[in-house]
Structure 1
């Protein structure tokens, strides 16, 4: 499933962007929350999540690129998040962090940057619904795809065949089939959709490429996975 990232949206017309993405066939939205500390960029917080929730029933996949994810987990859930993803590099005990988020009644994801050791994921893999493999260093949109993500996706898929896998960063029509073939289920896409003239055409092209790597497609939503 393709999840448009609102990081690349026109925030001066966020309602219009939401309508265009919905009309284009988006089935979930990816929201990047950045604190200017864990990553060198600032985006938005609970008011934007809450505002989007008031105007859509689409699942909201909230990616916490912040230094203290547990401090804001509850308020994000109250604002309307369906899935919260924290960075393994941001917490001392990832298994405990995952359980704390799960206790809030939402799906749990754990993210890892390209320069972080995959060994950090091991303690929490039995406690999360999804692993987000960053194919760029977290913090800014529009970066080039790092192929190390393909190796990581293949490794996780081989070891954990039932684990939901997501990838984020530099994904576009020319590489999304490779990402799917590596075992990815959910694809966060920003510029390739939001910078295009026709969101529907862009999403259709991405889905066609996914189908070319896997004829059955990838049809799991973050909200659905939480109920498995």
Structure 2
């Protein structure tokens, strides 16, 4: 589960949706394509629904990492699973039934992920850490692309990695927000392995080179693991 490797998941939030198939083709070889679903309520932005996710699945063979920034994940998770999501990540802050929701996702054959906002402590994951395949640490406040990385996120990543080691579990540790070659090394040194990058990939002419530079920066960070 990416335990010893650094991977980049380009976020289509920063892609040209008018040429979605071409944009997806430009990141061929990526381990996941990151799909940000926002409802305009849990976060102050409105993006994609299950129909767009189904279109992404038709346009690419890259597995889809669906990040649900929505207020009603208990109701909507089945829709995203039906649309073909390979990972479904919901927010800890959005449900009172995290364990049940993670079990549902796994029962349907997808990986279950849980995300925490910058203001949510890692300790909130104590009762769920053994029941998920992925933990997403938001390194910006969710809702919009192009934000600056929050430095305090590094402390949270170290705390999360320590919790996982203590509990002898190894979920994928993912980060989302402000990720670029300048920040990739630090987050990987702190424990992250799956790096969501939007403008740092789709804002570049050569997407393969952009992914390579982020990956190399992340791998360099492993040599100085915090």
Using the size of structure 1 for normalisation, the TM-score is 0.90
Q: Is the deviation greater in 89-98 or in 73-82?
A: 89-98
CA distance in 2, matches of 1:15, 1:185: 27
Match of 1:145 in 2: 149
Corresponding pairs, count = 213
Contact 2:136–2:174 (CA under 8 A) maintained in structure 1: yes
- CA RMSD between the two structures: 1.2
Match of 1:193 in 2: 201
Q: 2:216 aligns with which of 195, 200, 208?
A: 208
**Shift in Å, 1:70:** 1.8
Q: Is 2:174 the counterpart of 1:166?
A: yes
Contact 1:70–1:100 (CA under 8 A) maintained in structure 2: no
Gaps of 5+ in 1: 216-228
Q: Is 2:64 the counterpart of 1:60?
A: yes
CA distance in 1, matches of 2:152, 2:106: 29
Using the size of structure 2 for normalisation, the TM-score is 0.90
Match of 2:49 in 1: 45
Residue aligned with 1:126, SS: helix
**Shift in Å, 1:125:** 1.0
The CA deviation string for residues 49-101 of structure 1, in whole angstroms up to 9 with x for no partner, is 10111122211000000001121111111111001000000001222222222
Q: 2:137 aligns with which of 123, 127, 133?
A: 133
Match of 1:73 in 2: 77
Match of 2:189 in 1: 181
Residue aligned with 1:115, SS: coil
**Shift in Å, 1:20:** 1.1
Q: Is the deviation greater in 34-43 or in 204-213?
A: 204-213
Q: 1:109 aligns with which of 106, 109, 113?
A: 113
Contact 2:122–2:160 (CA under 8 A) maintained in structure 1: no
**Shift in Å, 1:129:** 0.6
Match of 1:223 in 2: none
Match of 1:224 in 2: none
Match of 2:20 in 1: 14
Gaps of 5+ in 2: 1-6
Contact 2:53–2:84 (CA under 8 A) maintained in structure 1: yes
Q: Is the deviation greater in 97-106 or in 126-135?
A: 97-106
Contact 1:150–1:182 (CA under 8 A) maintained in structure 2: yes
**Shift in Å, 1:139:** 0.6
Residue aligned with 1:84, SS: strand
CA distance in 1, matches of 2:24, 2:79: 22
